[in-house]
Structure 1
Amino acid sequence: MKEKLKTALLVLLVTSSLIQSYFLMYRLPGSDSIAKSATNYIKTDDMGPEERAENLIYPDRMIIHMGGNKHTIFYPHSTFYNLIFSRLQARSFDSFQRRSIQNIDINELRSQNDGIELTFASGVPVTLLERVMQIQPDALFQAEQINRIWIYNVKNESKAHALFFSTEGGVVYEAGKADLTAQDVQQHVDFGKQWTAYTSTKGSYYIPEVDIDVMEVEFEIGVYTTEQMHRSLFFDPSITRNIREKDGSEIYTDSKRSLQVRQEQKWMSYTDPAALPAGESSADTDVLAAVDFVNQHGGWNGEYRLSVVGSGEEENGVVFQQYYGAYPVLDTPQFKYGVMTLNLQQGTVSAYQRSLIYSKPGSVSKKMKKLPGGDDLKAKLKNEEIISAIVDLYPAYQPSLTKKGMQLTPVWAVKLQNGTVTVLE
Structure 2
Amino acid sequence: MSRERMENIKSVVLVVLVLLSLILTSLLLNNQPQLEFISPATFVPADKQGASKQAKDFVVPDAILFHYGEDRHTKANSSDDVYRILMGQVQNWYFNEFSYYPMTEDKWDSLTRKKLGLELQYNSLIPISVMEQVLTLRDVDQRLTGIDRVWLYYEEADDTVYALFLSTKDQQSFRAKTAVSPKDLRNSYLLFGKNLPEQILKTYKDPQRSPYIVQNKQSFWSVYYLPKKPSVMSMYNYNYLPISRKQLLESYFLDPGLVRQIVERDGTNIYTDGTRSVQVRNGQHLMTLTTPVWQAGDTQMTAYEQLQESVSFINQHMGWIDEFRLRSMDQRTEGSAQIVFRQYLGAFPIISQDSKLIDNIQLNMDKGQVQSMRRSLIDLDTFFGYKEVNVASGADLITYLQENKIDTEKISNIYLAYQLVEQKGYMQLIPAWVVQLEGVYNKIIDVRSAVPKGGKVSGLE
Indicate whether the TM-score tops 0.5. yes
Compute the displacement of 1:117 (Å): 1.5
* Paired residues for 1:98-247 under 5 Å: 98-102=100-104, 105-136=107-138, 138=139, 140-141=141-142, 144-155=145-156, 157-166=158-167, 169-176=170-177, 178-186=178-186, 187-203=188-204, 204-247=223-266
* Paired residues for 1:300-315 under 5 Å: 300-313=320-333, 315=336
SS in 2 for 1:58: coil
Contact 2:125–2:169 (Cα < 8 Å) also in 1 = no
Cross-structure match for 1:266: 285
SS in 2 for 1:414: strand
> What amino acid sits opposite 1:367 in the alignment?
K
Structure 2 unaligned blocks of 5 or more: 1-30, 205-222, 447-461
Contact 1:141–1:173 (Cα < 8 Å) also in 2 = no
SS in 2 for 1:198: strand
Q: Which stretches of structure 1, 4 residues or longer, exceed 6 Å deviation after superposition?
A: none
> Residue 369 of structure 1: which of 363, 386, 389 is its match?
389
Of 143-152 and 90-99, deviating more is 90-99
Going from structure 1 to structure 2, the CA distance change for 1:196 and 1:44 (only over 3 Å counts) comes to closer
Compute the displacement of 1:56 (Å): 1.0
Compute the displacement of 1:173 (Å): 2.6
Show CA shifts across 1:234-258 (max 9, x none): 3343443312234433111344432
Of 292-301 and 400-409, deviating more is 400-409
Going from structure 1 to structure 2, the CA distance change for 1:229 and 1:386 (only over 3 Å counts) comes to farther
> What amino acid sits opposite 2:114 in the alignment?
Q
Residues of 1 paired with 2:353 and 2:426: CA distance? Answer: 18
> Residue 293 of structure 1: which of 313, 317, 329 is its match?
313
Show CA shifts across 1:121-173 (max 9, x none): 3321223223222333x364596212110001123654311111246634333
* Paired residues for 1:78-117 under 5 Å: 78-102=80-104, 105-117=107-119
Of 117-126 and 300-309, deviating more is 117-126
User: Is residue 2:339 matched to residue 1:337?
Assistant: no
> What amino acid sits opposite 1:380 in the alignment?
Y
> What amino acid sits opposite 2:198 in the alignment?
A
SS in 2 for 1:300: coil
* Paired residues for 1:317-336 under 5 Å: 317-336=338-357
Identity, % of aligned pairs?
28
Cross-structure match for 1:56: 58
> Residue 271 of structure 2: which of 252, 267, 283 is its match?
252
Contact 1:152–1:161 (Cα < 8 Å) also in 2 = yes
Going from structure 1 to structure 2, the CA distance change for 1:95 and 1:420 (only over 3 Å counts) comes to same
Contact 2:94–2:137 (Cα < 8 Å) also in 1 = yes
Of 370-379 and 160-169, deviating more is 160-169
Residues of 2 paired with 1:164 and 1:416: CA distance? Answer: 24
Show CA shifts across 1:397-418 (max 9, x none): 0112346733211111112335
SS in 2 for 1:128: helix
Cross-structure match for 2:215: none
SS in 2 for 1:160: strand
> What amino acid sits opposite 2:135 in the alignment?
M
Contact 1:229–1:297 (Cα < 8 Å) also in 2 = no
Show CA shifts across 1:78-97 (max 9, x none): 22222222212222222323
Contact 2:46–2:318 (Cα < 8 Å) also in 1 = no
Show CA shifts across 1:174-207 (max 9, x none): 223x121112222323333333222222254322
Going from structure 1 to structure 2, the CA distance change for 1:170 and 1:327 (only over 3 Å counts) comes to closer
SS in 2 for 1:195: coil
Cross-structure match for 2:67: 65
> What amino acid sits opposite 1:50 in the alignment?
S
> Residue 316 of structure 1: which of 321, 324, 337 is its match?
337
Residues of 1 paired with 2:172 and 2:279: CA distance? Answer: 42
> What amino acid sits opposite 1:179 in the alignment?
A
Going from structure 1 to structure 2, the CA distance change for 1:319 and 1:424 (only over 3 Å counts) comes to same
Residues of 1 paired with 2:143 and 2:81: CA distance? Answer: 31
Cross-structure match for 1:284: 304
> Residue 391 of structure 1: which of 406, 412, 422 is its match?
412
Of 56-65 and 256-265, deviating more is 256-265
> What amino acid sits opposite 2:276 in the alignment?
R
Residues of 1 paired with 2:323 and 2:185: CA distance? Answer: 29
SS in 2 for 1:376: helix
Contact 2:398–2:408 (Cα < 8 Å) also in 1 = no
Compute the displacement of 1:384 (Å): 4.2
SS in 1 for 2:307: helix
User: Is residue 2:381 matched to residue 1:380?
Assistant: no
Show CA shifts across 1:354-403 (max 9, x none): 1121233x565443221112442112221243544321101100112346
SS in 1 for 2:152: strand
> What amino acid sits opposite 1:257 in the alignment?
R
Cross-structure match for 1:7: none
SS in 2 for 1:202: strand
Q: If the length of structure 2 is used for normalisation, what is the TM-score?
A: 0.77
Contact 1:286–1:346 (Cα < 8 Å) also in 2 = no
Going from structure 1 to structure 2, the CA distance change for 1:391 and 1:168 (only over 3 Å counts) comes to closer
Show CA shifts across 1:52-78 (max 9, x none): 111111112222222111222222232
The structure with the largest alpha-carbon Rg is 2
Count of paired positions: 394
Q: If the length of structure 1 is used for normalisation, what is the TM-score?
A: 0.83
